Amino acid sequence: MFNALEVCTTVVVGVMVGVEFSVAFVINRILDALPDDSGQLGRAHGGQMLGAVMPVWYIGSLVLVAVWAVAGRHHPGAGLVVTAGLLLMLSVIMSILLLVPINNRGKTWTPENRPADWKQQMNRWDRFHYVRVAVLVAAFALLVAALA
């Protein structure tokens, strides 16, 4: 049963990391290359869609890692799991304090109501997101190392 928890947690976190990596390095670059207002509209739609799903995914991942850390406290790699959990907690805090406020504004924008500095705000979100992705990749790598 413990092995199933380890694998399930690693897969859930890994897929989340893959989605966030894809947003940072694929999806947003595609959206930014679209003509006219399409990119901004795509970002607004993505903010609505992922803004509804990602909080559950982040908190669920954190809960799974916490359960793994408690259940496996006497197993090798427990320190790696705890550190991964701390990094996931950092990513949640970063999300709430830095990314969500920008996302909440951006997901309501249309070409008619967006502020003049909307591109600067999206660039700021992107920079914060790159840091969050690095934190998530580190957490995932620690979970994978803990499996060994």
For CA atoms 4, 50, 140, 76, the dihedral sign is negative
| pLDDT (tens digit per residue) in 53-108 | 999 999 999 999 999 999 999 999 999 999 999 999 999 999 999 999 999 999 99
CB 146 within 8 A of CB 20: no
Mean pLDDT for the chain overall: 96
pLDDT, residue 148, reads 85
Q: Using 50, 70 and 90 to split pLDDT, how confident is the model at 6?
A: very high
d(C-alpha 142, C-alpha 96), whole Å = 23
- Of 146, 136, 117, the C-alpha closest to 25 is 136
Amino acid at 142: L
Cα–Cα distance, 85 to 69 (Å, whole number): 8
